[in-house]
Amino acid sequence: MIADKYKNVIQNLLSPCGITINGAQPWDIQVTNEKFYQRILSDGSLGLGESYMDGWWDCGSLDDLFCRLIPSRLEDKIKTNWKMVLHSLSARVINKSRKSRAFQIGKKHYDIGNDLFRNMLDRRMTYSCAYWKKCENLDEAQEAKLELICRKLAIHPGDRVLDIGCGWGGFARYAAEKYGADVTGITVSREQASFAREVCKGLPVDIRLQDYRDIDDKFDHVVSVGMFEHVGYKNYRRFMDVAHRCLQGDGLFLLHTIGRNETTVVNDSWIEKYIFPNSMIPSMKQISDSIEKIFVMEDWHNIGVDYYSTLRAWYENFEKSWGVLQERYGERFYRMWKYYLLSCAAAFKTRHLHVWQIVLHKTGIQAAYHRVN
């Protein structure tokens, strides 16, 4: 039968990863719809994620499954079809992160609902990799990350700091309260802007609903945490030009971003459709090309191993809170969000993805930069 043929093809692809269809291990795939096999061969990564959302297969431990799948580069072994070719071609031809699309990611992802993120994140609502050195819980680890950034920037009372992609105001509030900074935060999410203004009320913090390309003020320091992933490779240089233009004097620019091992211009098709539209993960080469002749790299710190612990903590919070969230979001969203958090956790655990904190200076610090850990 044709269905058996498809099943055999998929099992042959999975066997070298130690994965058995309907096997007894927690990372084994339990298939509940026989159409699953053809869908994977037809749609690759998109089909795998969508079929999970549709309940066509399940798995006792999704992150363990992806820790086996990711190093195998399974999608490279599945014959490329016209859908995958079109996805790749459109990424090369279309500037998906152009200014006219800037607010799409806010509407699609960050405006889902503050109740979701309040229940999932730490008390400061920090939606980026935490820093777990000497920390025992998510709240401590996120505060340690904010402290690390402030110390790397050497912020002093009264310094004007630009936060590109300020989220729910976690960094802005911390830098204002702990270091006496005057912070301007920008975001393309209406929900984030509203929340950030409320939590930063009474502090020297200005939260703007604004695209980074429209900033034209001067600041002592610039920081961007977890936003560069939405810039798009066609706009990397433009982003760096904006940061350079806004940075005055002897100030520093700290870029905190997810990074990948290989240069590409294509986002994962499932992540693109359901989680982060118009986004992609930069490589070291793409970043270094974008800063050439305008910035000197003072420090490049990889804290990516900490994102596994961060994502696991978010997932555990999400699971604990599902009872109060399920009526609004529904079962399909639950499966989508679980798949997102745990597949991403595996990507960091297998070192497929990283988190880089890069400190940049316009001309290079003459006395040398001393890393803060």
Q: Which residues are catalytic?
A: 344
Cα separation of 13 and 23, whole Å? 15
Cα separation of 129 and 77, whole Å? 31
Q: Apex CA 64: angle with CA 63 and CA 65, to 5°?
A: 90
Q: Which of 68, 67, 60, 52 has the alpha carbon at shortest distance from 19?
A: 68
Q: Which of 128, 166, 68, 53 has the alpha carbon at shortest distance from 314?
A: 128
Distance from chain centroid for Cα 199: 23
- Is the distance from CB of 215 to CB of 185 less than 8 angstroms? no
Q: Which residues share a beta bridge with 353?
A: 260
Element (H, E) at 278: none
**Which phi and psi angles does 105 have, rounded to 5°?**
-65, -35
Element (H, E) at 126: none
Distance set, CA 80 to CA 13, 21, 50, 74, 86 (Å): 15, 23, 18, 12, 10
| Residue found under tokens 């956790």 | 345
First to last CA, the chain: 59
| Residue found under tokens 């497929």 | 352
Residue type at position 319: E
Element (H, E) at 41: helix 36-53
Q: Coil, strand or helix: which one is 326?
A: helix
Would you state the structure tokens that stand for residue 220, as one six-digit string? 């002592």
Residue 187 burial (10 A CB sphere; 0-12, 13-18, 19+): buried
Residue type at position 236: Y
- Is the distance from CB of 126 to CB of 347 less than 8 angstroms? no
